[in-house]
Structure 1
Amino acid sequence: MRPLPLPGIAPILFVVLLVLSTCSRANDAPADTTDGDQLVPEYFEQQTRLLAERSLADIEDLEDWTSKRAMYRQQLLDMLGLNPMPERGELHTTVTGEVRKDDVVVEKLHFQSMPGLYVTANLYRPAKVDEPLPAVLYVCGHGRVVEDGISYGNKVYYQHHGAWFARNGYVCLVIDTIQLGEFEGTHHGTYREKMWWWNNRGYTPAGVEAWNSTRAIDVLQARVDVDPDRIGVTGRSGGGAYSWWVAAIDERIQAAVPVAGITSLHNHVVDGCVSGHCDCMYMVNRYRWDFPMVAALVAPRPLLISNSDRDSIFPLEGVVDVHAKVRKIYELYGAEEDLGLQITSGPHSDTQELRIHAFRWMNRHLKKDESLVDTVATKLFDTKQLKVFDELPEDERVTTIHETFVPKATLEKTPSTPEELARLSEHRKEQLREMTFAGWPDDVSIEQTLEVVEQLKRADAEVTFAQYTSQDPYILPLIVVHPAKAESDTSPKEPATAGSPVDVVVLDQASWERAASGLAVVAPQRYPNVQPSQDVWNEIIESRRPTVLIAPRGVGPTEWSRDERERTHIRRRFMLLGQTVAGMQIYDVVSAMEALSGRRDELALAGPWTLSGKSDSAFIALHASIWSDSITNLKLLDLPTSNRDSPDLLNVSRVLDLPELLGIATGDVEVSIGGSTQAEWRKKAESNPLLSSVGWPAE
Structure 2
Amino acid sequence: MDKIKSIIISLAIAVIPVSSLRAQTFESKYTKSFSTVMNGLEKRFNVKFRYSVDTVGLKLTYADFRVRAYSLDESLRNILSLFDFNYWKQTDKLYKIKPYEYPRRHVEEGEKMLAYLNTLYSNKDQWEMRRDSLRKSVRNLLGIDQLMDSLVHKKPVLSKIRKYDGYTVQNICIETLPGLHLFGSIYSPSTKGKHALIICPDGHFNGGRYREDEQLRLATLARMGAVCSDFDLYGWGESEKEVGLEAHQTSRAHVVQAMDGLVILDYLLHNRKDIDRNRIGVNGGSGGGTHTILLTVLDNRFTASAPTVNLASHFDGGCPCESGKPVQLACGGTCNPELAAMFAPRPMLIVSDGGDWTSSVPTVEFPYLERIYGFYNAKDKVRNVHLPSEHHDFGPNKRNAVYDFFIDVFKLDRKKLDESKVTVVSPEILKSNCLK
Q: Same fold (TM over 0.5)?
A: yes
Equivalent positions of 1:541-620 (< 5 A) are none
1:29 matched to which residue of 2? 59
Q: Secondary structure at the match of 2:435?
A: coil
1:105 matched to which residue of 2? 168
Q: Taking structure 1 as reference, are residues 382 and 289 closer, same or farther at Cα in structure 2, changes over 3 Å only?
A: same
Does 1:355 find its partner at 2:372?
Answer: no
Does 1:80 find its partner at 2:142?
Answer: yes
Give the Cα separation in 2 of the matches to 1:68 and 1:187. 38
The answer as to whether partners of 2:156 and 2:172 remain within 8 angstroms in 1 is yes
Q: Taking structure 1 as reference, are residues 85 and 56 closer, same or farther at Cα in structure 2, changes over 3 Å only?
A: farther
Give 1:323 deviation, angstroms: 1.6
Equivalent positions of 1:550-699 (< 5 A) are none
TM superposition outliers: structure 1 runs of 4+ over 4 Å: 30-35, 38-50, 185-190, 369-374
Does 1:390 find its partner at 2:420?
Answer: no
Give the Cα separation in 2 of the matches to 1:347 and 1:165. 23
Give the Cα separation in 2 of the matches to 1:117 and 1:247. 24
Equivalent positions of 1:269-280 (< 5 A) are 277-280=318-321
Q: Taking structure 1 as reference, are residues 279 and 256 closer, same or farther at Cα in structure 2, changes over 3 Å only?
A: same
Q: Secondary structure at the match of 2:174?
A: strand
1:322 matched to which residue of 2? 365
Q: Secondary structure at the match of 1:286?
A: helix
The answer as to whether partners of 1:103 and 1:127 remain within 8 angstroms in 2 is yes
The C-alpha deviation readout for 1:373-400, integer Å capped at 9, x for no partner, is 742366514215633333526xxxxxxx
Equivalent positions of 1:414-425 (< 5 A) are none
Give 1:28 deviation, angstroms: 5.8
1:182 matched to which residue of 2? 238
Give 1:371 deviation, angstroms: 5.4
Give 1:50 deviation, angstroms: 5.9
2:116 matched to which residue of 1? 54
Give the Cα separation in 1 of the matches to 2:273 and 2:298. 24
Does 1:364 find its partner at 2:421?
Answer: no
Q: Which amino acid aligns with 1:326?
A: L
1 or 2, which has the higher helix percentage?
Answer: 2
Give the Cα separation in 1 of the matches to 2:124 and 2:392. 35
Find 1:243's aligned residue among 289, 292, 308.
Answer: 292
Give the Cα separation in 2 of the matches to 1:370 and 1:336. 25
Give 1:319 deviation, angstroms: 6.0
Find 1:159's aligned residue among 215, 240, 248.
Answer: 215
Give the Cα separation in 2 of the matches to 1:325 and 1:137. 26
Find 1:229's aligned residue among 278, 284, 297.
Answer: 278
Give 1:81 deviation, angstroms: 2.8
Give the Cα separation in 2 of the matches to 1:290 and 1:127. 40
The C-alpha deviation readout for 1:74-94, integer Å capped at 9, x for no partner, is 112223232546315515222
Q: Taking structure 1 as reference, are residues 319 and 69 closer, same or farther at Cα in structure 2, changes over 3 Å only?
A: same
Give the Cα separation in 1 of the matches to 2:237 and 2:283. 18
The answer as to whether partners of 2:123 and 2:375 remain within 8 angstroms in 1 is yes
Give 1:304 deviation, angstroms: 0.4
Give 1:370 deviation, angstroms: 8.7
Equivalent positions of 1:173-212 (< 5 A) are 173-184=229-240, 185=243, 203=251, 205-212=253-260
Give the Cα separation in 2 of the matches to 1:105 and 1:61. 46
The answer as to whether partners of 1:230 and 1:366 remain within 8 angstroms in 2 is yes
Give 1:280 deviation, angstroms: 2.0
Equivalent positions of 1:440-459 (< 5 A) are none
Give the Cα separation in 2 of the matches to 1:227 and 1:347. 35
Give the Cα separation in 1 of the matches to 2:307 and 2:244. 22
The answer as to whether partners of 2:111 and 2:313 remain within 8 angstroms in 1 is no
1:71 matched to which residue of 2? 133
Give the Cα separation in 1 of the matches to 2:170 and 2:199. 14
Does 1:334 find its partner at 2:377?
Answer: yes
Give the Cα separation in 2 of the matches to 1:207 and 1:111. 17
Find 2:226's aligned residue among 167, 170, 193.
Answer: 170
Find 1:114's aligned residue among 177, 198, 205.
Answer: 177
Give the Cα separation in 1 of the matches to 2:292 and 2:226. 18
Give 1:332 deviation, angstroms: 0.5
2:329 matched to which residue of 1? 286
Equivalent positions of 1:485-500 (< 5 A) are none
Q: Secondary structure at the match of 2:365?
A: helix
Q: Taking structure 1 as reference, are residues 226 and 27 closer, same or farther at Cα in structure 2, changes over 3 Å only?
A: closer
Give the Cα separation in 2 of the matches to 1:65 and 1:28. 47
Q: Taking structure 1 as reference, are residues 56 and 82 closer, same or farther at Cα in structure 2, changes over 3 Å only?
A: farther
Q: Secondary structure at the match of 1:253?
A: coil
Give 1:171 deviation, angstroms: 1.2
Q: Taking structure 1 as reference, are residues 98 and 111 closer, same or farther at Cα in structure 2, changes over 3 Å only?
A: same
Q: Taking structure 1 as reference, are residues 37 and 385 closer, same or farther at Cα in structure 2, changes over 3 Å only?
A: closer
Relative contact order (alpha carbons < 8 A, sep ≥ 6): 1 or 2 greater? 1
Give 1:333 deviation, angstroms: 0.8
The answer as to whether partners of 1:364 and 1:370 remain within 8 angstroms in 2 is no
Q: Taking structure 1 as reference, are residues 186 and 68 closer, same or farther at Cα in structure 2, changes over 3 Å only?
A: farther
Give the Cα separation in 2 of the matches to 1:297 and 1:113. 28
The alignment-based identity, stated in percent, is 20
Q: Secondary structure at the match of 1:183?
A: helix
Give the Cα separation in 1 of the matches to 2:58 and 2:367. 48
Q: Taking structure 1 as reference, are residues 36 and 95 closer, same or farther at Cα in structure 2, changes over 3 Å only?
A: same
Equivalent positions of 1:251-270 (< 5 A) are 251-265=300-314, 268=315
Q: Which amino acid aligns with 1:252?
A: R
Give the Cα separation in 2 of the matches to 1:133 and 1:110. 22
Give 1:309 deviation, angstroms: 2.0
The two structures have a TM-score, normalised by structure 2, of 0.69
Give 1:107 deviation, angstroms: 0.9
Q: Secondary structure at the match of 1:389?
A: coil
The answer as to whether partners of 1:164 and 1:377 remain within 8 angstroms in 2 is no
Please list every run of 5 or more consecutive structure 2 residues that lacks an aligned counterpart in the other structure. 1-55, 67-77, 88-99
Q: Taking structure 1 as reference, are residues 349 and 335 closer, same or farther at Cα in structure 2, changes over 3 Å only?
A: same
Q: Taking structure 1 as reference, are residues 232 and 37 closer, same or farther at Cα in structure 2, changes over 3 Å only?
A: same
Q: Taking structure 1 as reference, are residues 360 and 213 closer, same or farther at Cα in structure 2, changes over 3 Å only?
A: same
The two structures have a TM-score, normalised by structure 1, of 0.44
Q: Which amino acid aligns with 1:221?
A: L
Give the Cα separation in 1 of the matches to 2:258 and 2:430. 23
Give 1:339 deviation, angstroms: 0.4
Q: Taking structure 1 as reference, are residues 346 and 49 closer, same or farther at Cα in structure 2, changes over 3 Å only?
A: closer
Give 1:183 deviation, angstroms: 1.4
Name the stretch that deviates more: 333-342 or 177-186: 177-186
Give 1:187 deviation, angstroms: 8.1
Give 1:111 deviation, angstroms: 1.6
The C-alpha deviation readout for 1:595-651, integer Å capped at 9, x for no partner, is xxxxxxxxxxxxxxxxxxxxxxxxxxxxxxxxxxxxxxxxxxxxxxxxxxxxxxxxx
Find 1:304's aligned residue among 327, 338, 349.
Answer: 349
The answer as to whether partners of 1:240 and 1:262 remain within 8 angstroms in 2 is yes
Does 1:96 find its partner at 2:159?
Answer: yes
Q: Which amino acid aligns with 1:120?
A: F
Q: Secondary structure at the match of 1:55?
A: helix
Please list every run of 5 or more consecutive structure 1 residues that lacks an aligned counterpart in the other structure. 1-25, 146-152, 394-699
Give the Cα separation in 1 of the matches to 2:426 and 2:433. 13
Q: Secondary structure at the match of 1:119?
A: strand
Give the Cα separation in 1 of the matches to 2:363 and 2:181. 36
Give 1:164 deviation, angstroms: 0.3
Give the Cα separation in 2 of the matches to 1:141 and 1:377. 23
Give the Cα separation in 1 of the matches to 2:401 and 2:376. 24
Does 1:136 find its partner at 2:184?
Answer: no
Equivalent positions of 1:394-409 (< 5 A) are none
1:644 matched to which residue of 2? none
2:190 matched to which residue of 1? 127
Q: Taking structure 1 as reference, are residues 48 and 334 closer, same or farther at Cα in structure 2, changes over 3 Å only?
A: closer
Give the Cα separation in 1 of the matches to 2:348 and 2:246. 29
Q: Secondary structure at the match of 2:375?
A: helix
Give 1:68 deviation, angstroms: 3.0
